[in-house]
Amino acid sequence: MPAVEINICYLKMCKELMAIPGICTNLLSFISLRHLSFAVRDNEKAVLNAVRNCASEFAYASLRLKNCSKKINMATVRKSGVAIGLLPIHWRACKEIIMEAVRTHGLALRHAPAKLRNDKEVASLAVTTCPEALQYCFPDCVGDPSIVLKAVQGNGMCLRFATEYIKSACADVVLEAVKNNGLALSFAGEAMRASEEIVTAAIEQNPNALFYALGPCRRNVLIVKKAVSRDGLALRFAHKSMRKNIEIAFAAMENKPEAYQYVQGAARRSRELALVAMRNWHKAYSYIPKCLRKDIQLAILAVKTNTLFLKCIDEELKNNVEICVAAVKRNSWAIRLLPIEMKMNKHVVQAAVNSNPLVISKIASFYSSFRGVRNFPEWFIELQKKHQILGKRKRS
């Protein structure tokens, strides 16, 4: 057993040694004050060493030292600002101690009395250390633009703790807030949310801040284009007139092809835009309007991406050989989704079998169960023989 552990065990068992402050002072980094005698807990030097090592040791100090020793109270908050909650009420009302506490941790302000929470010097130091301390400040401080400015420079979302006057009239404070966090625009006043300068700064930091912009800004081409060029999905927050703009739609899809789902009007009916979406996003065909579903090139792109789109293409195109061949080349088992005429088409069946010879058994069972066909077509019999021979060669 290490020597230190032997000493600790010995101290716990020996009451006489535990009553000697001089010995215990050097061992306070290994043993808590609660295990020591009252004589040690009432010794200023011993308690001072203890709280410098761990602020929570203040709780085990004698009542006399808690109430009378400014040095011990100061050392406690210097070690941990939030430990101010352990201090007696009269020491929490001391500005010097509160200043030391908030210098260590700004949230210590919540334990300060009302008078000091309304003190601008204390509040300023607290929000500099921890911006969230603004929520514990009293009205005089929360309404001071200089204090709020310090808070939002550290955390823009702290704007929500400011007064309505600052949110609506202090453009410089709101501007700093949205530069730090674009979503802080949600806490700004209506006049600020309609300001082009502030909205632009917000979307530069976070494009999704466009959601909180008011009407005129959501209809502004330059602002919306800047937002979608940074994050295409921000298009969903733009005004309807902007979603119909082909130029903005292209800018959004260049960044995120998935933005096609938010495109509306003439832009949604644009064949060029649909082609870009189809080439870059596998779900795009689900959002293509009916007027474009008769386009053969778009249908081929769709089935090459996902053969399940055979269910979505226009009825007139379901019997198109080129589309069906493209589908079975992508997935030979897609032949099950084809209409009867295509299942009997030589080119389609050959493409499916070339892609996967195992599908030939499925086609054979279809032919045998189909009432209109009593005998297999000659080309199919030849295809079966060809793949049987190839199968034998592979096995040998």
Average pLDDT, the chain: 84
Question: What average pLDDT score do residues 247-268 get?
Answer: 92
Helices 120-129 + 145-154 axis angle, to 10: 10
Asked if residue 150 is part of any domain, the answer here is no
Q: Please tell me the predicted confidence (pLDDT) of residue 171.
A: 94
Q: Please tell me the predicted confidence (pLDDT) of residue 238.
A: 93
Does residue 24 register a pLDDT over 60?
no
CB proximity list for 381: less than 8 A, separation 6 or greater? none
**pLDDT class for 100, splitting at 50, 70, 90?**
very high
Asked if residue 338 is part of any domain, the answer here is yes
Final residue of a structural domain among 68, 90, 117? 68
pLDDT tens by residue, 104-148: 999 999 999 999 999 999 999 999 999 999 999 998 899 999 999
Final residue of a structural domain among 68, 87, 111? 68
Q: Please tell me the predicted confidence (pLDDT) of residue 14.
A: 44
Asked if residue 119 is part of any domain, the answer here is no
Final residue of a structural domain among 19, 43, 68? 68
Domain tally, the chain: 2
Token digits of residue 207: 């494009």
Asked if residue 193 is part of any domain, the answer here is no
CB proximity list for 13: less than 8 A, separation 6 or greater? none
Asked if residue 90 is part of any domain, the answer here is no
Asked if residue 282 is part of any domain, the answer here is no
DSSP 8-state secondary structure symbol assigned to residue 197: H
Does residue 312 register a pLDDT over 90?
no
Asked if residue 309 is part of any domain, the answer here is yes
pLDDT tens by residue, 176-185: 999 999 999 9
Asked if residue 52 is part of any domain, the answer here is yes
Q: How far apart are CA 129 and CA 103, in angstroms?
A: 6
- Host domain of residue 10: 1-68
